[in-house]
Structure 1
């Protein structure tokens, strides 16, 4: 069957981690940001519905007139029409459009409608500015329903509700315990970027749930929890936070909580980080010398701003030569990347930074090198890489880990052919569409993680 060539602009707009508004597109997170339920403003909900009605009716100029000046500029010249009319050509005929619902991402309110096509489903996310104009429009893989509150139980494991304490309130989660008596090794799962739930839900996929159940079936307890940016989004809406607030402090609290459980061998507690969580795992271990070892899944070894630009370039050329608009967006992204590199030497002028992350966040990361920190910490490492990962790549990231630790007997490095950033099977041309297809973390990955933990000695 002949496949239509997808325009680079559409790739940029459809990408799971991309944002439209305030520029043609920006990579927002290393993983698609999760949304939390929120009360919808009735007036904005009506306007969001009317905006989608106009798109469905082909009245693109009227739809664009509902936008802010920067949105109109970003989607001028027929871009909005091109994106909307190409969707059914690429994803199959539209079968349904869901009602508008209120949600929030990192404390920012959005209005969302699910669009179901023949091949997959997307969430249309609409954001308003203070003047009531549409200021952002995103198309992302539809988010799976939240994890049921009732813990699961099988013959091989049982789950217990648990809460990790944080300065902004308890973070609800689950402790998955293998069946049988006796103290067992335990792991804490540390999320990638974005306001993730305990399962690190991405589209229809729940990689942390797969890991928790798979490891528990192999005799390892797993603690996973809702991220603080999901539980207390208002804490992050003010724009003054660092990775300490987003990731590190809560991971340390979770490790301490797990270590205190009677079912857990306190000398055999490990951190399993994914994406940003893997990048920060060495920092977490540096703060807690009793952590027995680290499992780094899809671990960035390059600077975050470089990874953002690299991903955007990849997506822009995924299905063809980038057009002029996309090239201009990439050039702007490169300028923003360069500004981050100079940030420590420049005064704060209050202008927005790359990914809309605060200045303190970037300055915190500026002095952090995951590879150097892991070498200094000296803890056993298992470093896992999918060969089809376009976000954290074998060539740029895994190669640096291998160069640093390839001869270190305390470190094992494994590559898996055909696996994506989620360590699930990827398509022939890896891209954001892979995250919209239901899958599971590969059994080989779970088995290798379990075997490595079983063979790693307890902490002194």
Structure 2
């Protein structure tokens, strides 16, 4: 299940399984390393890479992989992620599995701010044929302090419950409650993206100012449905969280608010329309436009900004994307096909929802926030579309934050 609405912040290198080379091409040091178990070898190489020592990893690549993956490629990835990680702590969990006659070993390196998963794919000669480096988020924490306390909660179907966290401000009886609805992707309750945990930060901030917060692990990621809909991905979880807020006896049932981010922001109006208990919505980096149209813009902007993409490559790629978009717009039913990274069941379900029409008919308070340097949802397109759609409405407040990105963090010029 690979969904790409938030394109950035998961940094990786993936090289496909390829043919091997003769062992005699490896130097003596690598031959010695081959006497180690694959897990010990992988731990050694991962730790070396984290220190900028890449030679032995490069020497261990199979011939065809070394033609595709250079030392500079690996260095770029580490240079991008290391400044965000904080101090190195230790080597964490390791695992090994067999996939199509290859061994895949995962090594977790623990840092102050996040883990890093380094995955190696080996052939029968212990040569590396695949290398993948990405953030490995830490487990969501439950904390209490002098301002708020947190509780693990679950709601919905008792056989497959949605697991979440209730953050309650202290010394406030029945506070208003915000339900946080994440963007696309398999998110945990913190909506962890790289080393960033925007929903954790939002929950702590709101609770410190007297607002309770419900955030949850998406059930579509917990139970891994190969074909899913927008109901599975977003709407059902949010509706069940609203029902929990109504019945838990700890919050103000006349003060239930939905705060959606990205795709969750696009669906906030639909959630409110489906659940009359919602007293207001907040759209963080959302859009009234269709998701596939936004993906077209994302790819167009990304391709134009990539120096190695020629005009011909740009035309070919955009033509392929536009063909996929037309297929989405013409869907009559689900057939199990994957289109633009999502099953067509997801696109078909989205086709039944007209966000613009729904939001125009809402009479509850609406707050629409956007960062001026958002490279996924655009201030000059999507934010203006909201303003045009909802102009002269006295129940809507707009706020554009200068130099903030998709996560409402200060932009570094890239994201």
Alignment TM class, shorter chain as reference: 0.7 to 0.9
Instruction: Give the structure 2 partner of residue 84 of structure 1.
Output: 74
> Contact 1:45 / 1:111 at 8 angstroms: preserved in 2?
yes
CA distance in 2, matches of 1:350, 1:333: 24
Instruction: Give the structure 1 partner of residue 398 of structure 2.
Output: 413
CA distance in 1, matches of 2:258, 2:360: 16
Structure 2 alignment gaps of length 5 or more: 1-6, 17-36, 98-103
CA distance in 2, matches of 1:18, 1:369: 33
> Contact 1:199 / 1:208 at 8 angstroms: preserved in 2?
yes
Distance 1:46 1:364, change over 3 A: farther
Mapped pair 1:424 → 2:409: yes
Instruction: Give the structure 1 partner of residue 307 of structure 2.
Output: 321
Instruction: Give the structure 1 partner of residue 149 of structure 2.
Output: 158
Shift of 1:292: 0.4
Instruction: Give the structure 2 partner of residue 399 of structure 1.
Output: 384
Shift of 1:288: 0.7
What aligned pairs does 1:33-432 form with structure 2 within 5 A after superposition? 56-57=54-55, 63=61, 78=68, 82-87=72-77, 101=94, 112-113=106-107, 123-125=117-119, 138-140=132-134, 142-148=135-141, 151-166=142-157, 169-232=160-223, 235-236=224-225, 239-318=226-305, 321-324=307-310, 328=313, 331-332=316-317, 334-343=319-328, 344-345=330-331, 352-355=338-341, 357-427=342-412, 429-431=413-415
CA distance in 1, matches of 2:230, 2:38: 32
**TM-score of the superposition, structure 2-length normalised?**
0.74
RMSD: 4.2
Q: How many residues align?
A: 373
Structure 1 alignment gaps of length 5 or more: 1-13, 24-42, 66-71, 105-109, 432-460
Distance 1:85 1:145, change over 3 A: closer
CA distance in 2, matches of 1:134, 1:334: 35
CA distance in 2, matches of 1:63, 1:76: 6
What aligned pairs does 1:17-32 form with structure 2 within 5 A after superposition? 17=10
Mapped pair 1:16 → 2:6: no
Deviations 1:251-306 (A, max 9, x none): 10001101112232212111111111111111111111121010111113332223
SS in 2 for 1:184: coil
Task: Tell me which of the two structures has the higher relative contact order, counting C-alpha pairs closer than 8 angstroms and 6 or more residues apart.
Answer: 1
SS in 2 for 1:388: coil
**TM-score of the superposition, structure 1-length normalised?**
0.68
